[in-house]
Chains A and B, each alone.
Chain A
Amino acid sequence: DTEVTQTPKHLVMGMTNKKSLKCEQHMGHRAMYWYKQKAKKPPELMFVYSYEKLSINESVPSRFSPECPNSSLLNLHLHALQPEDSALYLCASRPLGGRDEKLFFGSGTQLSVL
C-alpha cells in the first residue's frame, strides 16, 4: 500500500461550523504533513508531525488544530474558519531514518468556507 488517503474529498462549511479532515497512510511513515494550497499557488507548509509529536507549526492560526492520534492517522480540526481559508488541503507522509526523503501526497480535501 503506497497511498495516502484523505477524506473527505470535498467539504463545504459555514464559518460557525466545526469539521475535521482526515489523512491515513499504512506505509509505516513516521513523519506526516499538512499543506494548504490556494488556486495557482504552490503548497504552503502548515504542520509537521514526527513520531506522532508536533515538530513544526508554521504560525498557523489556532482555528486550525492538528492531531496525530497514532502513526497512521493525521487529523486537521477546523473551527470558525474564514472564507479566505477556502483551499485544497494536502496531507503528505515521509519515511524517517533512511536515505529516502521523498514525500507521498494524498489527493487533498477541497474546502469551501461560506
Chain B
Amino acid sequence: LAKTTQPISMDSYEGQEVNITCSHNNIATNDYITWYQQFPSQGPRFIIQGYKTKVTNEVASLFIPADRKSSTLSLPRVSLSDTAVYYCLVGTRGGFKTIFGAGTRLFVKA
C-alpha cells in the first residue's frame, strides 16, 4: 500500500475554506484515495473518496491531479465543529487492508 504524508496540524478560522494536501508518491494504478474525519473518542467517519480528477459531495471536495501522487481535501466554510483529525488513506480496489496514516489535526478558531 502506498504510504501517505500529511501535515501534522493546521489552524483555520470559522468561515474560511480549508485545504489539506496528502502526498502518496507510490500510488498504484488500481489504488483509490479516501478521507476520513475523526472526533475524540469516536470512530472515524467517511468524508469522500476518489480515483482521479475532482469529486464533490455535500461535505467536501477532493482534487486529484493527473499524476495522482497527491490529493487535496477541500472543506468549504469551516465551522468550530469541523475541528477534528482528518486522515488520508490509499487503498487497493478489492483489497482489504485499510491502513491509516498519521492524520492532520485541524483546529478551527472563532
Contact = CB atoms under 8 A, between A and B. Distances in A.
Interface of A: 4, 31, 33, 35, 42-45, 48, 50, 55-56, 88, 90-92, 101-108, 110
A55 B44 contact: no
Given A101-B32, A102-B34, A108 B99 contact: no
Interface string B88-110: 00010100111111110000000
Contacts, number: 53
B44 A45 contact: no
Interface of B: 32, 34, 36, 41-46, 49, 87, 91, 93, 96-103
**Which secondary structure characterizes the binding site on chain B?**
loop
A103 B98 contact: yes
**Which secondary structure characterizes the binding site on chain A?**
strand
A105 B100 CA distance: 13
A42 B96 contact: no
Among B87, B91, B98, B100, the one with the most A-chain Cβ atoms within 10 Å of its Cβ is B98
Contact of A43 (B32, B34, B93, B100): B100
Nearest to B48: A102
Nearest to A100: B49
Contacts of B34: 101-102
Contacts of B36: 103
